[in-house]
Structure 1
């Protein structure tokens, strides 16, 4: 029997005490007959919350963490929660990323859930059994302290619990009657059609492929990304439903924490604690640093499979990709944090600025090791036998390796103009707070590290780096054309080397 494949996705900006309970709730879901994967967008301001996500990733394995910490601050008090437009549409972007990843990895369902909810263990089974394209599990919240709880679903408009009469306005009395009837209905176990929903929603692949998403509908003034999602879904012919058999528990304010033990006892949770795993010392952490653009269908998946065993996290500069490059990162680097920086337009025409951006993002607030690789480069397999020794010693801050320009999978080029492998190039550097980078200020061929990187105490390694960027004729032609466009007068590179790219019978050596 083929298991139902489900992506559980959540943008997370949460206090540790609440987040811990949320993660335990996910761990307690009954998922027999299911293949569960997780994608968390880490927007936490609290490092302890980020640490909890890392521990959960080690526990559950199929967990991708996209680090997306920004300057916007979500203000949360025991009275209410405060949102502004920037926060709303930031979360909308996050949710749309979850949708795109669910489509890319061909999940049967995407389960979108807010990080302040606790679930009954049978929630996923129950929602799937409804056979609805979009269905939420109900939960109840007193939106202001001391008021009666209301559901997170509604019938019309932004949050209306009555239906407007076809012939025009209805009286306040009729509104109250309809509202009470709707509330009573949701307190009876069942599955009901609604006009709006959110926060705890199972979305089928059919709905994902139909084109649902959370971005703003420009001629709609409704406030909140869930409203725009729901209007778009219905316009696409997708009905919205709520299940009320297994209401979730909403930790809306700190006082709601007191109700957790009773909810967990009622649900008979199997796990009571989140496992805590040992973590590397900060100074031994290895951060993969990459600049990528449109790497789908090339070497990226192979490269990430090879590098994943010895890195702890990744910082990616996406230089305006138009393909599924980022989805590949999220698929291949499950279990570790990924920080993504997206450039709206490509900066490669002025490479030095792009490399400065890469260095700044990779080193900011980090005191471990930066491993700088391109998407078509990887070390030979012996690298993994030495990497721990490299990063745990205290005297060397920079490791250099020889790069081999491969002309096919098994041969590298060696002649008058192709001698990169005779030199040792920096790839792995320890971040020192005292180091002040100085760059080779050229728009092309400026180097992946600062020009003064060799001020760091460095060592040469005999481990080789395989560079597949020249291995296909199509790629060679594209590079040739790019160099001729960006450096037409060969100011930054060697004209004869540029022309040699087109050689029909280059001198090749066995790898």
Structure 2
């Protein structure tokens, strides 16, 4: 018996991204399914939806409410409360339409997704009342990809059962949740959205995106999910056919690879991998000169004498097999310090005649090239004021013995203001996010960089297309320990980025806050 499905989406979207979204919709497999489309055109500055409706008889387009600005850029999307609840009203309009016209399912899909052709047929086969297909997104360029589903509250990626958990337990449970979603399967979750199939039974029970007045969570999907659970409905996340999330226009190039390799990726998404591999994985270990388990430390240095270099390298020699150092025209004995502390290890050291830190991207590319030309399987990139916590060397060696299925490892970086206190406020939250510090040395990897003179990143930006994992091991950032350090960094940022083009002026100014909020390092 044929099943009737209404696929619906509120649309305020760039034309190039929307064109890809619509292309994926007409490619959906619909065996035994009568599929109709409904869109709300929320004042788009193009006519793509109306043209799509003219070409396909099963498409309806409705006009949106009053016009309002919606900002998204290459960093993230910026949602205001009024926009969120406008989208909620649009989605509730689709719920009413699906009920009034007797559809068996409502399929709500965000207009920046490219769906695998098998998505709809597969979700229907699960016979769940509410189920979302999982995709992975770098919500900000510097972050690792994360799923659009969660376990509880606003965006908690573990089940707490209202227990007070320590940091180690939270990290372990988060990793278990992400690892679960990295495997093909269908899993019960606490929150979902963006690519959600909803049964008629759920619609009739009263699911809605309307704001729950005494709930402080942001986003209409949270209110939908909590109301659904209160109505006795269960929420599920499926990972067999992950869509591609075109979160930024710059990701359209990656989409091309996704489309070319759909048969390769079906049912096989890896942890933190939201895109396709840039190489043939069967060739990872084919380079004869690579030595399995070998570790290279790569570091950029400049006038480090009397600061933290000695502490950092003294710890590093406990866990590395080789080092590459790029000295940016130091005027002190930094080079001699490196040679002395690393004595006995293979060392490649290059010294610039003129400093180039005003164009950091050149230094980062040069250091990366030096590191990848070594025979090591793994590359660790640390700055001269960064080191692992005390038992880091032992944990790292153990970590590498269990890293056969991942290509990069992410850690949290803590900005220490004293030896025992780190800073935490709205401008200082690096320790809340996992960032890559260790990458597998992969033959044939085509590096792509964030081409900015400052804050360009220590690794190529596309390493997060690889298979990644996280570690609870923490990294200390010592570069803020002394008032003199902070003052020098303040003036350096103001000199190199006076208008805050590559960073945040507010954060630069906050460096000199006389009473910062400090937390105890435990």
Shift of 1:268: 6.3
Instruction: Identify the residue that residue 14 of structure 1 maps to in structure 2.
Output: 13
Larger radius of gyration between Structure 1 and Structure 2 = 1
Output one character per residue of 1:67-113: Cα deviation in whole Å (capped at 9) or x when no partner: 11522111011011101110000000000000000000100000000
Q: Are 2:84 and 2:220, in contact at CA under 8 Å, matched by a contact in 1?
A: yes
2:143 corresponds to 1:143: no
2:169 corresponds to 1:174: yes
Structure-1 separation of matches of 2:112 and 2:135: 11
2:257 counterpart (254, 262, 265): 262
| TM superposition outliers: structure 1 runs of 4+ over 3 Å | none
Q: Any stretches of 5+ residues in structure 1 without a counterpart?
A: 270-511
Output one character per residue of 1:381-407: Cα deviation in whole Å (capped at 9) or x when no partner: xxxxxxxxxxxxxxxxxxxxxxxxxxx
2:89 corresponds to 1:89: no
2:68 counterpart (66, 72, 76): 72
CA RMSD, 1 decimal:
1.3
Q: Are 1:14 and 1:44, in contact at CA under 8 Å, matched by a contact in 2?
A: no
Give aligned pairs, total: 264
Structure-2 separation of matches of 1:69 and 1:253: 25
Instruction: Identify the residue that residue 31 of structure 2 maps to in structure 1.
Output: 32
Output one character per residue of 1:395-446: Cα deviation in whole Å (capped at 9) or x when no partner: xxxxxxxxxxxxxxxxxxxxxxxxxxxxxxxxxxxxxxxxxxxxxxxxxxxx
Q: Any stretches of 5+ residues in structure 2 without a counterpart?
A: 265-522
Structure-2 separation of matches of 1:34 and 1:185: 30
Instruction: Identify the residue that residue 316 of structure 2 maps to in structure 1.
Output: none
Structure-2 separation of matches of 1:219 and 1:212: 17
Shift of 1:146: 2.5
Output one character per residue of 1:125-179: Cα deviation in whole Å (capped at 9) or x when no partner: 110111110000000000110311000000000100111245x310111111111
2:236 corresponds to 1:241: yes
Structure-2 separation of matches of 1:179 and 1:247: 20
Output one character per residue of 1:275-304: Cα deviation in whole Å (capped at 9) or x when no partner: xxxxxxxxxxxxxxxxxxxxxxxxxxxxxx
Shift of 1:45: 3.1
2:157 counterpart (141, 155, 161): 161
Structure-2 separation of matches of 1:240 and 1:231: 10
Instruction: Identify the residue that residue 485 of structure 1 maps to in structure 2.
Output: none
Structure-1 separation of matches of 2:234 and 2:225: 9
Instruction: Identify the residue that residue 347 of structure 1 maps to in structure 2.
Output: none
SS at match of 1:20: helix
Output one character per residue of 1:47-66: Cα deviation in whole Å (capped at 9) or x when no partner: x2xx2112211222111100
Structure-2 separation of matches of 1:268 and 1:58: 31
Q: Are 1:102 and 1:110, in contact at CA under 8 Å, matched by a contact in 2?
A: yes
Output one character per residue of 1:432-468: Cα deviation in whole Å (capped at 9) or x when no partner: xxxxxxxxxxxxxxxxxxxxxxxxxxxxxxxxxxxxx
Structure-2 separation of matches of 1:76 and 1:266: 28
In the TM superposition, 1:74-473 aligns within 5 A as 74-166=70-162, 168-267=163-262
Structure-2 separation of matches of 1:89 and 1:55: 28
